[in-house]
Amino acid sequence: AQSVTQLGSHVSVSEGALVLLRCNYSSSVPPYLFWYVQYPNQGLQLLLKYTTGATLVKGINGFEAEFKKSETSFHLTKPSAHMSDAAEYFCAVSNTGNQFYFGTGTSLTVIP
């Protein structure tokens, strides 16, 4: 069975500060891991994904995430928050290619 836990349903950061959104997963086999972003009134857009190989994955808009197998984590970071980063972020896991499992989401607020 697979599951995804996102710690913190709401995160606030100041503009220019580090963004850290946490994601932990459980999976019986090596997972494929994803981060999606949802801007207001829009669908989900793929930010980045981890499949195999390098554990540090770079995505769009300056975001990156690191797969840490020992910690079963895939936290999303961005060195310097921008106002346009305000959105909801979803972590997801897949392993068989049959179903995705999403976390409950983290709403990011960027304070000017």
Q: Does 94 bind other proteins (CB under 8 A)?
A: yes
- Specify whether the CB–CB gap between 47 and 61 falls below 8 A: yes
Of residues 27 through 46, those in contact with other proteins by CB under 8 A are 32, 34, 36, 42-46
CB of 110 to other proteins, least distance (A): 20
* Alpha helix positions (H), 1-112: none
Q: Does 49 bind other proteins (CB under 8 A)?
A: yes
CB of 93 to other proteins, least distance (A): 11
Q: Which of 14, 51, 61, 80 binds other proteins (CB under 8 A)?
A: 51
Q: Does 65 bind other proteins (CB under 8 A)?
A: no
> Of 81, 100, 83, 82, whose CA–CA distance to 91 is shortest?
100
- Specify whether the CB–CB gap between 6 and 22 falls below 8 A: yes
Burial class (CB in 10 A: 0-12, 13-18, 19+), 95: middle
In angstroms, the CA 19 to CA 51 distance is 23
- Select from 19-27, 61-69, 79-87, 95-103 the region that touches other proteins (CB under 8 A): 95-103
Contacts with other proteins by CB under 8 A lie at 9, 32, 34, 36, 42-46, 49, 51, 90, 92, 94-100, 102-105
